[in-house]
Amino acid sequence: MRISRNNLFISITLAIGLITSNISLAQSVEFGVDATGDPNAVKVGGGSGFLYSERIVLTVGHVIDGTGGVAFWERNGVIYSPGIVTVDGQKTYKVKKVIMSENYLAPDYAKPIQAVDDLAVLVLSEDIPLTKKAVMATEEQMRRFVKEKSVVELVGYGIRTSSERQFLGQKNNRPPNKLTSTLISPEEVTQFYKQYPNAIPSAYKVQEGNYGIVQHRELGKSQLCDGDSGSAFFVEENNVRYVLGMTGQGLINNVCPPPATWFPAPSMSWVNPAFKLKDLIKTAEKMVEEDKKREFAAAEAVRLAAELKVKQEAEARAAAELKVKLEAEAMAAAELKAKQEAEAKAAALKKTTITCVKGKLTKKVTAVKPKCPSGYKLKK
**Residues 177-196 pLDDT 10s:** 998 888 999 998 888 877 77
Q: Are residues 44 and 103 in the same domain?
A: yes
Q: Are residues 235 and 322 in the same domain?
A: no
For 328, the domain range is 278-349
* Res. 262: pLDDT tops 60: no
Query: pLDDT-based confidence at 113, cuts 50/70/90?
Result: confident
Q: Is 144 or 225 the better-scoring residue by pLDDT?
A: 144
- Mean pLDDT confidence for 10-33: 37
- Domain limit, last residue, from 246, 275, 304: 275
For residue 253, give the CATH number of its domain: 2.40.10.10
Q: Are residues 362 and 237 in the same domain?
A: no
- Domain limit, last residue, from 242, 257, 275: 275
Contact call for residues 30 and 256 (beta carbons, < 8 A): yes
Pairing verdict, β 133-136 and 240-246:
parallel
Quote the CA–CA distance of 341 and 327 in Å, as a whole number: 21
Q: Are residues 270 and 285 in the same domain?
A: no
Quote the CA–CA distance of 290 and 286 in Å, as a whole number: 6
Contact call for residues 30 and 224 (beta carbons, < 8 A): yes
- Domain limit, last residue, from 255, 275, 295: 275
pLDDT 10s digits, 73-102:
999 999 999 999 999 999 999 999 999 988
Q: Are residues 127 and 242 in the same domain?
A: yes
Q: Are residues 261 and 305 in the same domain?
A: no
Contact call for residues 58 and 49 (beta carbons, < 8 A): yes
CA angle 110/111/116 to nearest 5° reads 105
Mean pLDDT of the chain: 82
Number of domains the chain contains:
3
Q: Are residues 245 and 282 in the same domain?
A: no
Q: Are residues 172 and 240 in the same domain?
A: yes
Quote the CA–CA distance of 259 and 162 in Å, as a whole number: 10
Contact call for residues 36 and 29 (beta carbons, < 8 A): no
Quote the CA–CA distance of 199 and 196 in Å, as a whole number: 5
Amino acid at 153: E
How many helices (H) and strands (E) would you count in the chain? 5, 19
What does the DSSP 8-state code read for residue 67? T
User: Which helix (DSSP H) or strand (DSSP E) does residue 354 occupy?
Assistant: strand 352-358
User: Which helix (DSSP H) or strand (DSSP E) does residue 277 occupy?
Assistant: helix 277-349
Provide the pLDDT for residue 215: 66
Least confident stretch, 66-75, 141-150, 153-162: 153-162
CA angle 183/273/108 to nearest 5° reads 90
Q: Are residues 237 and 144 in the same domain?
A: yes
Quote the CA–CA distance of 130 and 137 in Å, as a whole number: 19
Query: pLDDT-based confidence at 17, cuts 50/70/90?
Result: very low
Q: Are residues 99 and 215 in the same domain?
A: yes
pLDDT 10s digits, 162-175:
777 776 666 778 89
In 3D, which of 259, 270, 271 has the Cα closest to residue 217?
259
Q: Are residues 219 and 259 in the same domain?
A: yes
The predicted model scores a pTM of: 0.74
- Mean pLDDT confidence for 261-288: 78
Q: Are residues 264 and 287 in the same domain?
A: no
